[in-house]
Structure formats: C-alpha cells, structure tokens
Chain A
Amino acid sequence: MAQENTKTVDSTAIDTAATPNNKYGIRLGADLSKFARTAFEKGYSGFEIIGDFRVTDKFYAAAEIGNEKKERFEANLNSITTGSYAKLGFDYNAYNNWLGMENAIFVGLRYGFSTFKQQLLAYQVYTTSQAFPQTFKEGPVEYKGLTAHWAELIVGIKTEILNNLYLSFNLQLKRKIVEDEPDNFANLYIPGFNRTYDFSEFGVGYGYTLSYLIPIFKK
C-alpha cells in the first residue's frame, strides 16, 4: 500500500517537472573568465559579450562577440595575435525544470568567424648542431587582414542565481573550417578559437558567464 502511495506522489512530481518554464526574453551578459584572465594572466587581454533569445520552449538563438589579444613569448618564438570574433548559433536546453525554476543543461552549435592580425616579433633558428652560437632574428613582420571560420559544439549548465540573473559554465569543442595562413608563418592563436594545434584542426575553450534576462513576455 505504502509503495503505491509513493508511486502516485512520483507521477505527480513528474507532471509538475514537465511543466515548462515560461519566461521569454533577451538574455545579455559577459564572460567572467575573460575578465579574470585579463587581470591575472600575463600576455592576455580580452572580453566577450554574450546574448541569447528564447525562440521555442527548448531552443534559444545565441550569439557571442568578443575581442582578444594574446602574446606568445616563448624562447624560440615571440608573436602577438590581436583580433575580434563573432559566434552565431543556438542552444538546446535538455533539462526539465521544476515549476518556476529556470535552470538549464544545454548543448549548442555555433558558427564562428574571426578577423585578426598576427605580429611575428622574433624567432630563433632551430639547429641540431651546437657548433655555432644560436641565431635569433628580430624585426617585426605583421600579417594583417587574416580570417578564420570554425564550427563549435558547446555543452554547459546554467543556473538562475537571483531573479533573472544567470551564472553559466560551458565547454567548447571547435573545429576549423578554413583559415588564412600567413605566408611563411602560421596562426598560433585565433581570437575566439583559442590556440591552434600543429597537427590538428580542433581547438578547445570554456566560458564562465554571467547574464541577465530581460523578460519580454510569458507563454
């Protein structure tokens, strides 16, 4: 008897859980991790503004725009990448909220686009022999007007910490589609895509964002 009672309670709970959250509007915010990195990480500065718009019960149109400057000062190569990027796509909320809650576990897809420049400041000629002194070359070379395009898969969680204020963490897996390769150099970093890998078209990233929902209507 007791078990049956529990079951009844459960099914009621599921019904309640399936009740959709109903706030529709524009959510705007920024990536906090980029502010933190600008403050604490040497050779990095950047920001990202994020926004999404709820289209249906589960789908949100989403976009990010940002600007980044990343220095690479290694023993063998000094370069600086500077540029802006935009990402467009959607998020799908896979989480069934309880009545009145506005949390999310989401997956999303983005198309990413970046325009940037690269400065090659100095480098060391790599030799296998130690017979001669190491050779360093200086004299900046600037590669302007470079572009890159990529596709991005995002997974993340989003929590409403205060009324209409959301904190979110996401992980990003990116794959380059096409890029302008500078003549006799390479894109070691692409704003929005993050660092590149020599033998792979993939990249990774993360975001830790705070955003505010401007409610427009309720369904």
Chain B
Amino acid sequence: MIKKTCFALLILFAFHGCTRDDICAETTQTTPMLIVVFKNAAISTEAKEAPGLTIETTFENSEIVIDNETTDSIAIPLYAGADITNYKFTINSQSETETPNTDMVTFNYDREDIYVNRACSFKTIYNNLEASVEDEGTGNWIFQIDVTALNNTVEDENDTHITILH
C-alpha cells in the first residue's frame, strides 16, 4: 500500500516538472522595427522635428502606426510577409493652420528569418534596404530619404536605418 502511494506521488511529481517556458520575453530582440530620424534639409546634421506626423499603412484597412506626433525620431514596423512596405507619411495631419501634406514612402528589402528560441520562434531581419519617395514635383515635404543602416541591414534597433531630410 505504501509502495503504491509512493508510485502515485512520484508520477505526480514527474508530470508537475513538465511545465512550459513558452512566453517570449519582451527583452528578447525579435523582428526589429525600422528606426527613422528626421533632419533639417538645410543643415543635414541638425535634427528637425516633423510636425504633427501621422504614418499609416496603404492596405485597404489601413493601420495608423504613428498618430499625430511631433518628433524627430520614430520606430515603425516593416511587413515581414513581403519584400516591400508602403507607408503614407503625413505632416500637419491635424493642424488647423497648416495644410496636411502626404508623401508616399516605399521600403524595399530582402528578408532573412533567424531562429530566436522556443518561445519567440523566428524573427525576420531585412537586408539590402532601399527607400524611395513618390515624386510629386514641388508637392513633397520630404526633400531626401537616405538609407543610413549599417550594411543596409535592419537588425539592430540601436542603429539609425533611415534618415529623412525635410
């Protein structure tokens, strides 16, 4: 009888030990965000805030990733399901005195999936990054868009991947 009880306890212990560690920690570096900084077109070393900046995707049900922020530095996601991501960059988006101005920005890249761990599965990094703005003649608020990422690769979120002069 005692032996049977011992067996039952031991079995319980064995199953109890099999709990999962399946939560992807926030501190783990997974798929990186694209880091974009805004600089002054006249003095290209000087940071310049983009006033009332709103950024949204160009899908049918567009998602707003940056909502009416006045900032000189942003982090936005790239689409891991395709080699291209399109965004609408709008300044003065809710301004009462200035007219909103929207520029279409396109990012092209190659994707590489890298195994992270059991909980996070895989992340995607983006190689051969290219950026362009749809030319509207004098209508663009973006003067120039440059890829400043190390080796043109989006992997490290401490890096500056894109610099926009305006």
- What is A's interface to B at a CB cutoff of 8 Å? 74, 76-77, 123-133, 135, 137, 157, 159, 169, 171, 184-186, 188, 195, 197-199, 204, 206, 208
Contacts and interface: CB of A to CB of B under 8 A. Distances in A.
Contacts of A128: 26, 30-31, 33, 77
B10 A186 contact: no
Contacts of A186: 115, 117-118
Interface in B1-34: 3, 6-7, 10-11, 13-14, 17-18, 21-22, 24, 26, 30-31, 33
Contacts of B77: 127-129, 131-132
Interface string B69-96: 0000000110111000100000000000
Given A132-B57, A132-B77, A133-B81, A126 B3 contact: no
B31 to A, nearest CB: 4
Nearest to A184: B115
A129 B74 CA distance: 14
Contacts, number: 92
Given A169-B10, A171-B10, A188-B118, A127 B31 contact: yes
Contact of B124 (A74, A125, A159, A188): A125
Contacts of A198: 21, 117-119
Interface of B: 3, 6-7, 10-11, 13-14, 17-18, 21-22, 24, 26, 30-31, 33, 57, 63, 65, 76-77, 79-81, 85, 113-124
A125 B80 contact: yes
Contacts of B85: 132
B121 A125 contact: yes
Given A131-B65, A198-B117, A74 B6 contact: no
26 contacts: A77-B122, A123-B122, A124-B122, A125-B31, A125-B80, A125-B113, A125-B123, A126-B30, A126-B116, A126-B120, A126-B121, A127-B30, A127-B31, A128-B26, A129-B33, A131-B76, A132-B57, A132-B77, A132-B79, A135-B79, A135-B80, A135-B124, A137-B122, A159-B3, A186-B117, A195-B18
Interface of B is mostly: mixed
B10 A206 contact: yes
Contacts of A206: 10-11, 14
Given A133-B81, A198-B119, 9 more contacts: A74-B22, A77-B121, A125-B113, A125-B123, A125-B124, A126-B122, A127-B30, A157-B3, A159-B3
A185 B24 CA distance: 16
Nearest to A75: B121
Contact of B81 (A129, A132, A169): A132
5 A-B pairs closest in CB distance: A129-B77, A76-B121, A206-B14, A135-B81, A135-B80
